[in-house]
A and B are shown apart, each in its own frame.
Chain A
Amino acid sequence: MKTGALSEALKKGGIWGFIVLELIFFSVAGQFLSLSNSAFMDLDNMLLLLKQSAPIGIIAMGMTMVMINGNIDLSVGATYAIAAIVLLDSMTWPIFAGLGDWVILMSWTLALLVGTALGALNGLIVWKTGVDAFIVTLGSMLGFRGLVFMFNGENPTSNLNWTLVDFAEAEVLGLATATWFLLAVTLVVWFIMTRTVHGRNAYAIGDNREAAVNAGIRVGPHMMINFAIIGFLAALSAVVFYSESGSVNPNDGQLFELWVITAVVLGGTKITGGAGSPIGTFGGVIAIQLLRKGLGHIGADTSTVNLVIGLILIAVLFIDRQLNVKGKQELRI
């Protein structure tokens, strides 16, 4: 029974153990290898880490919902870029000229609406055509990115609004605006998935779609709601990030979908659906950001970071598989 208890503990809290390991490793290694004088576990550094986790983290919460539901969304990076362009460009539109700083509200709303609509469109196609979500969102990833390039070619879209920058750079109780958004989204998604009918049904559909249909659950609308939510969150992530940076390149957000999926899978969500939690995803997001930041701290370059994260992802899934095999007697399939 002892091994069973151990594997159970590893399955449930594995990601947090991994984070602790990372912290210890980078703190110790940082003493010898780092060029900077400050310790890795410096409070400011950790708060910055939380803030930097927000763009990926906010989208990852949506991806958790979509993946628990048994789908996947590859178009989030492109949706992110579109929402950013809508946000920055709409602030310069003549119809909003008389609004003063109220234009911020208009632009935020507009960007979020566009993100939600694009997500809902994905969901509608998956629902009505029955084509696999992987294929549908692969298509929309290409399509949405095409729209981004059609808008302004290779040029960046820029517009700095200082009120907006002040808001995005504000700190409340020591936490940055972006961090607050990440925490709030995590909390809301956790409530949706564990306490509401939609969450319950999403789990059921992801685990056993046939049984869910047999229980009279309308599968399509639930899938579409989840896609709309992830579209909304991709736009929210863009809105929070670009309020501060004020300039979007047409390539921004590329590979976001892969980082997001990596974080969600590291956090214990099953890629086939039916299991997972936003809290685990939060851990996964932090773990990845720690790794990126930690490797930078000890002087590794970006390409090394990608290599290491890739290896860790495969290792984690291998360990997970080993823990989930019921016994050596299982059928070899």
Chain B
Amino acid sequence: MGDIALEVRGLSCGKNFTDISFHVRRGEVLGFYGLVGAGRTEIAETLFGLRDPSAGEILLDGESVRIGSPADAIARGISLVPEDRKGQGLVLGMNCRDNMTLPQVDKMRSGPFIAQGTEIEIFDKYKDQLDIRTPGWRQQVGNLSGGNQQKIVIGKWLSMHPTVLIVDEPTRGIDVGSKSEIHRLLRGLAAEGYAVIVISSEMPEVLHVADRIVAMYSGRIMRTFTSEEVTEDNLIQAISGIKAEAAA
């Protein structure tokens, strides 16, 4: 496993989450497990520059950074595959190619115009790599199946070559076949050296995909498990805050 790509120290954001510290290495999949409303998505949004933290520090490759906007985050190599695919991930009225190249289209120019050839190359590359089933790049992304839509979003961020890839509920509303495909894909990405953060509310998913699992309850990290020590029982205990209440 590689160096630490992203480290978070004592990160807080109002009532959303408090005192969050963790790190993720290159080549590692870090899972975030917890109930809905435990603050996991809010952490992802803070790392991606959609929220301002009220305290704490974010370090990328050991260097403290301030992330003021998604554009900032993208420039620093952080990508987020959001929870709500249709609401936040895709522009449904646009075609597959335009959706995939959206974050980097401003860098693909020939003269004053968009270099459409480069765009199609990128689309074809990730269409093959991720096995996206679509008749062609002209297809409106709204007409694709959930799994293929999610692959377009993932392809969009892979084409940006990020260091840290955050995926929030990557398989929500996706058929079983595409689910296991996406799981394999996430493992594969870690093997290629990406630092992957997977947020999920499905226990089999985090157990299957993640190397380490951060269990959250009500805006706090309860415990971080390695894949050896984690069991369904102690994971459930951690995310339901049983220990915390017993202590109090």
A residues at B contact (CB < 8 Å): 191, 195-197, 200-201, 203-204, 207-208, 210-218, 274-275
Chain B interface residue count, CB cutoff 8 Å, equals 28
Besides A197-B114, A204-B102, A211-B90, 8 other A-B contacts (C-beta < 8 A): A196-B113, A200-B114, A204-B94, A210-B87, A212-B102, A213-B70, A214-B48, A217-B71
Interface of A is mostly: helix
Contact of A197 among B48, B92, B109 (CB under 8 A): B109
B residues at A contact (CB < 8 Å): 48, 50, 69-71, 73-75, 80, 82, 87-94, 98, 102-103, 105-106, 109, 112-114, 156
Docked complex Cα distance between A210 and B93 (Å):
14
Contact of B156 among A191, A208, A215, A217 (CB under 8 A): A215
Cβ A208 vs Cβ B70 within 8 A: no
Cβ A214 vs Cβ B114 within 8 A: no
Cβ A275 vs Cβ B93 within 8 A: yes
Cβ A214 vs Cβ B71 within 8 A: no
Cβ B103 vs Cβ A200 within 8 A: no
Smallest CB-CB separation from A200: which chain B residue?
Answer: B105
A200-B98, A203-B94, A207-B94 in contact; A214/B113 too (CB < 8 A)?
A: no
Contact of A207 among B80, B88, B89, B91 (CB under 8 A): B91
Contact of A216 among B74, B87, B88, B90 (CB under 8 A): B74
Contact of A195 among B88, B90, B93, B113 (CB under 8 A): B113
A residues near B75, Cβ cutoff 8 Å: 216
Smallest CB-CB separation from A191: which chain B residue?
Answer: B113
Docked complex Cα distance between A216 and B82 (Å):
13
B42: min CB distance to chain A, Å: 15
Shortest 6 CB-CB contacts between residues of A and residues of B? A216-B71, A216-B74, A215-B102, A215-B103, A195-B113, A207-B93
Smallest CB-CB separation from B98: which chain A residue?
Answer: A200
Report 24 cross-chain contacts, Cβ distance below 8 Å, ordered by A residue.
A195-B112, A195-B113, A196-B114, A197-B105, A197-B106, A197-B109, A200-B98, A203-B94, A204-B98, A204-B102, A207-B92, A207-B93, A208-B87, A208-B90, A208-B93, A211-B90, A212-B102, A213-B50, A213-B70, A215-B70, A216-B71, A216-B75, A217-B102, A274-B91
Cβ A214 vs Cβ B70 within 8 A: yes
Docked complex Cα distance between A274 and B87 (Å):
14
A159: min CB distance to chain B, Å: 37
A residues near B48, Cβ cutoff 8 Å: 214
Docked complex Cα distance between A126 and B98 (Å):
27
A residues near B50, Cβ cutoff 8 Å: 213-214
Cβ A196 vs Cβ B93 within 8 A: no
A201-B105, A211-B89, A275-B93 in contact; A195/B114 too (CB < 8 A)?
A: yes
Contact of A218 among B71, B73, B87 (CB under 8 A): B71
B residues near A208, Cβ cutoff 8 Å: 87, 90-93
Cβ B114 vs Cβ A274 within 8 A: no
A residues near B73, Cβ cutoff 8 Å: 216
Smallest CB-CB separation from A274: which chain B residue?
Answer: B93
Docked complex Cα distance between A231 and B236 (Å):
59
Docked complex Cα distance between A274 and B90 (Å):
13
Docked complex Cα distance between A216 and B73 (Å):
8
Greatest chain A CB density within 10 A among B80, B93, B109 is at: B93
B78: min CB distance to chain A, Å: 10
Cβ B89 vs Cβ A214 within 8 A: yes
A residues near B91, Cβ cutoff 8 Å: 203-204, 207-208, 211-212, 274
Smallest CB-CB separation from B101: which chain A residue?
Answer: A200
Smallest CB-CB separation from B80: which chain A residue?
Answer: A214
Docked complex Cα distance between A181 and B102 (Å):
33
Smallest CB-CB separation from A273: which chain B residue?
Answer: B93
Docked complex Cα distance between A274 and B114 (Å):
19
Cβ B70 vs Cβ A211 within 8 A: no
